[in-house]
Amino acid sequence: MDIAVLGLWHLGETYSAGLAELGNNVVGIDEDGAVVKGLSAGVPPLAEPGLAELIAKNAAAGRLRYTTDFAAAGACGIVWFTFDTPVNDRDEPQMEGIYAALEKIMPHLKRDAVFVMTSQVPVGTSREILKRIRAKRPEVTVHYAYTPENLRLGEAVKCFFEPGRIVLGADDAAARDPLVKIFAPLGAPIVTMSVPSAEMAKHALNAFLATSLSFINDIADICDAHGADILDVVRALRSDPRIGEKAFLGAGLGFSGGTLGRDLRVLSAAAEAHKIFAPVIKSAWEKNAAREREVAERLAGILGGAKGKRIAVFGVTYKAGTTTLRRSRAIELAARLSAAGATVALHDPHAIKKEVAALTALPFSNDPYGAARDCDGIIVATPWPEFKALDLARLAKACHANAVVFDATNFLYNKETEIKKAGFRYFGVGRT
């Protein structure tokens, strides 16, 4: 099938390559010339394992190309929106870019096109998009579908080709059937429903995950107060078949990046618009919004106050497995500690120095031992595997005597004895 993929950041770079690999002829479209130039040279704007190779393979086979020309979509029977929807500092989605792209693509829509939305958009967006298309192109029949993405940074290619299931909302068979055919080679169950239901399914999934994290952080804080160990509590929860071993119950700094928060905010707004009482959704966001303050206060309490202390923050990327810094909780935490009077140094084994510098003036180093020099405390904020391979004796020698290692994700729990033996005091989240 001939497919135009609009929006070429993380979502679009992965979908354009993935859809081409499934045997379709794909043209990726974005108004950012630098992004298009990079992709045309086989360099994605955001690195993902295996993605550059996938792009090169399908470009060489003639199934994949990139352009800034929106008119290229006119030759395609399927137009697929894959913009990464930005959020503001309160996790509210900013839809201007989506609607601007819609205006640019509408003149080029084929008369019987299939319009697919995979960008993360608020429930009701699909209805608004169809309204705008019909107002501007009344002669065009558009068959609309919404299929929410389920990619994870650092694992995007794997997620695309090995989905647990595919949610597909479609207005009619003309929209549904081509997508079922496209996704069939993946061998995953396809859960079909209406477009509004698919929009809500994405919100509900992310809201459930976000609520799980806020819930377990509440439990962790109570564990701290009563001498319980959150890891034991989580082990008990996951052993219950009604919860399960894969439950999203990692106590720590909370969720970041805006992805989960965006769905909580959308659902809260949707509930308020219809005067629906939805306190669980609202409280999950509020708990997470306060999380960096709670963790900063806990660390300050252990250190006897933050003022005058030197603290190293280990791990500043959004998560392990990616260099992305978007809405990094670690950087936000570092800023809070600095504002409280601490001298803060940053370290990450993979973050790009100039990208860190664009977000904060705090000193950054890819060398952990240099970043830890003369520190009173180290907070491990992002669980990079390299942190388990650190030379603890060398690290302790760089720090002040009896320095603290605060494990903000409990990533190093099985190295607690070694950390203490090296001369550190060790603390985790929900673990006294």
pLDDT of 324: 87
Query: Quick check: 321 and 422 in contact, CB under 8 A?
Result: no
According to DSSP, residue 403 is labeled -
118 contacts 15 by C-beta, under 8 angstroms: yes
Specify whether 243 is located in the same domain as 374: no
Q: Is the pLDDT of residue 358 over 70?
A: yes
CB atoms within 10 A of CB 283: 16
Domain closes at, from 289, 324, 348: 289
Cα–Cα distance, 32 to 52 (Å, whole number): 19
Instruction: For residues 259 and 156, state if they share a domain.
Output: no
Mean pLDDT of 298-319: 95
> In the block, which residue shows the tokens 């079909």?
192
The stretch 347-376 carries a mean pLDDT of 96
Q: What is the mean pLDDT of residues 371-382?
A: 97
Q: What is the residue type of 193?
A: M
pLDDT of 366 above 80: yes
Q: Name residues whose C-beta falls within 8 Å of residue 29's C-beta, 6 or more positions apart in sequence.
A: 4, 5, 6, 7, 8, 66, 67, 68, 69, 70, 72, 73
CATH number at residue 9: 3.40.50.720
Residue 185 structure tokens: 């080679």
Question: Does residue 260 sit in the same domain as residue 390?
Answer: no
Residue 107 has phi, psi (to 5 degrees) of -65, -20
> Among 162-176, 239-253, 255-269, 280-294, which is the least confidently predicted range?
255-269
Does 90 have pLDDT greater than 90? no
Average pLDDT over residues 181-188: 97
**Residue with the two structure tokens 């707004």:** 269
Residue 246: how many other CB atoms lie within 10 Å: 7
- Whether residue 187 is found in the same domain as residue 240: no
Q: Which of 257, 289, 321 is the last residue of a domain?
A: 289
Instruction: Judge if 151 and 57 occupy the same domain.
Output: yes
pLDDT at 82: 97
Does residue 354 sit in the same domain as residue 394?
Answer: yes
Amino acid sitting at position 64: L
| Crossing angle of helices 195-226 and 259-273, rounded to 10° | 110
Question: Which residue do the tokens 């904020």 mark?
Answer: 381
Shared-domain flag, residues 90 and 42 = yes
Model confidence band, residue 257 (pLDDT cutoffs 50, 70, 90): low
**Do 98 and 63 share a structural domain?**
yes
Last residue of a domain, one of 193, 219, 238: 193
Strands (E), 386-430: 404-407, 425-428
Please say if the pLDDT value at position 318 is more than 90.
Answer: no
Contact between residue 74 and residue 108 where contact means Cβ atoms under 8 Å apart? yes
The pLDDT of residue 153 is above 80: yes
- State the average pLDDT over residues 317-346: 92
What pLDDT shows up at residue 78?
Answer: 97
- Specify the CATH number for the domain of residue 241: 1.10.1040.10
Domain tally, the chain: 3
Q: 379 vs 24, 199, 282, 298, 427, CA distance in Å?
A: 47, 38, 29, 11, 9
What's the average model confidence in pLDDT over 365-372?
96
**Do 326 and 375 sit in the same domain of this protein?**
yes
Same domain, 54 and 143: yes
| pLDDT over 70 (residue 417) | yes
Give the mean pLDDT of 111-131. 94
User: Which is more confidently placed, 111 or 28?
Assistant: 28
The percentage of the chain sitting over the pLDDT mark of 70, rounded to a whole number, equals 100
What span, in angstroms and rounded, lies between the C-alpha atoms of 23 and 16?
A: 11
Tell me: do 140 and 15 sit in the same domain: yes
Mean pLDDT over the full length of the chain: 95
Domain that holds residue 229: 202-289
Would you state the torsion angle of the CA atoms of residues 419, 380, 342, 226, taken in this order, to the nearest 10 degrees? -70
Residues 244 and 302 in one domain: no
pLDDT of residue 211: 97
Of the candidates 300, 303, 360, 353, which has an alpha carbon nearest to the alpha carbon of residue 328?
Answer: 360
